[in-house]
């Protein structure tokens, strides 16, 4: 029982990271109707920015983290402006998808040129000690505590931002109807850029939490977590912020328990099998809405 609780805690912690990453996918798709498959590589860039600042330049961790968030935010805006905005009006979704894959490979190869292919050891930036309960049988690492708290704070803050602020209301309007929002005086391009900025800034935080818990950093660090976070977004209902949280946590638990009780090699397969089953039963995901198309 104690072992199961330990695995469950680790699964919730991992799922919290997936949920934060999934927010980037779900916000961009919900508002711009685009799948930004370069999002996982923004996580990698943010992690390398922190590694460069702390391990190579000797910067204080807080300053390195802030620089990483700023870099990823600017990168998100730049990617949207250069790669996606010219395609938004006329290009098909397939063209946008191919462009996103191209941006992903560009970021990976840029990191290879700058930092090389060797695995870097990422120093954890979380100073909390491991908490132990039940005579030491149950343990919660400092990284797990901070990750779960960050996930809850980010989800709550983002929900309040969208519901209570003018930029958030503009995001809701653009997600419903870009043309009507523009007629009402909303800056559609600015709103979509803000969405990319928020998602990319959160990617930097996700990179910090991910690499603090799993301290190995390569140019491909963000690829698989990015794919799994996309699965989490689809699982919970892409376009739904609560869905990203539920999908991420459920996915993390399934993956961790699968590794512990079935097979570490089969854990990823189990995750995708569960996704397929859920989509067969509910194609829009757990909290997704079925869109009605007017003809």
pLDDT tens, position by position, 49-62: 999 999 889 899 99
Condensed to tens digits (0 to 9), the pLDDT of residues 228-279 reads 998 898 888 888 888 889 999 999 999 999 888 888 888 888 888 888 888 8
pLDDT, residue 289, reads 65
Per-residue pLDDT averaged across 9-24, rounded? 92
Furthest-apart CA pair in the chain: how many Å?
64
Q: Under 8 Å CB-to-CB from 8, ≥6 apart: which residues?
A: 253, 256, 257
Domain boundaries, the chain: 2-228
Q: In whole angstroms, how far apart are CA 107 and each of 104, 159, 224?
A: 5, 30, 15
pLDDT at site 64: 94
The sign of the torsion formed by the CA atoms of 70, 76, 77, 83 equals positive
Instruction: For residue 167, give the 3-state DSSP assignment.
Output: helix
For residues 278 and 155, which has the higher predicted lDDT (pLDDT)?
155
pLDDT tens-place string over residues 183-208: 888 999 999 999 999 999 999 999 99
Using the CB atoms, write b or e for 117-141: b if 16+ within 10 Å.
Answer: eeebebebbbeeeeeeeeeeebbbb
- Please identify which residue in the block is written with the tokens 């990179």: 207
Per residue in 21-80, pLDDT (tens digit) is 999 888 888 888 888 889 999 999 999 999 999 988 989 999 999 999 999 999 999 999
First CA to last CA distance, the chain: 55
**Cα separation of 235 and 286, whole Å?**
6
Would you state the structure tokens that stand for residue 235, as one six-digit string? 């699982």
């Amino acid at each position: 029982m104690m072992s199961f609780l330990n695995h469950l805690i680790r699964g919730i912690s991992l799922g919290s990271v997936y949920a934060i990453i999934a927010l980037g996918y779900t916000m961009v798709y919900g508002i711009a109707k685009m799948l930004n498959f370069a999002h996982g590589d923004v996580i990698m860039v943010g992690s390398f920015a922190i590694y460069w600042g702390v391990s190579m330049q000797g910067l204080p961790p807080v300053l390195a983290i802030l620089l990483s968030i700023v870099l990823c935010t600017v990168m998100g805006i730049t990617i949207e402006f250069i790669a996606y905005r010219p395609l938004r009006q006329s290009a098909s979704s397939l063209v946008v998808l191919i462009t996103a894959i191209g941006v992903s490979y560009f970021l990976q190869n840029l990191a290879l040129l700058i930092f090389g292919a060797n695995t870097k050891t990422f120093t954890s930036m979380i100073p909390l000690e491991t908490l132990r309960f039940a005579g030491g049988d149950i343990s919660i690492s400092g990284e797990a505590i901070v990750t779960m708290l960050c996930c809850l704070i980010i989800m709550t803050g983002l929900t309040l931002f969208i519901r209570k602020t003018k930029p958030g209301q503009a995001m809701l309007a653009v997600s419903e109807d870009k043309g009507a929002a523009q007629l009402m005086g909303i800056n559609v391009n600015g709103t979509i850029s803000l969405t990319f900025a928020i998602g990319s800034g959160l990617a930097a935080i996700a990179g910090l939490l991910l690499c603090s818990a799993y301290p190995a950093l390569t140019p491909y660090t963000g690829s698989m977590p990015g794919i799994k976070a996309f699965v989490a977004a689809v699982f919970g209902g892409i376009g739904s912020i609560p869905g990203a949280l539920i999908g991420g946590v459920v996915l993390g638990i399934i993956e961790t328990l699968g590794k512990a009780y079935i097979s570490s090699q089969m854990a990823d397969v189990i995750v995708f099998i569960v996704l397929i089953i859920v989509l067969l039963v509910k194609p829009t995901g757990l909290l997704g809405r079925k869109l009605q198309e007017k003809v």
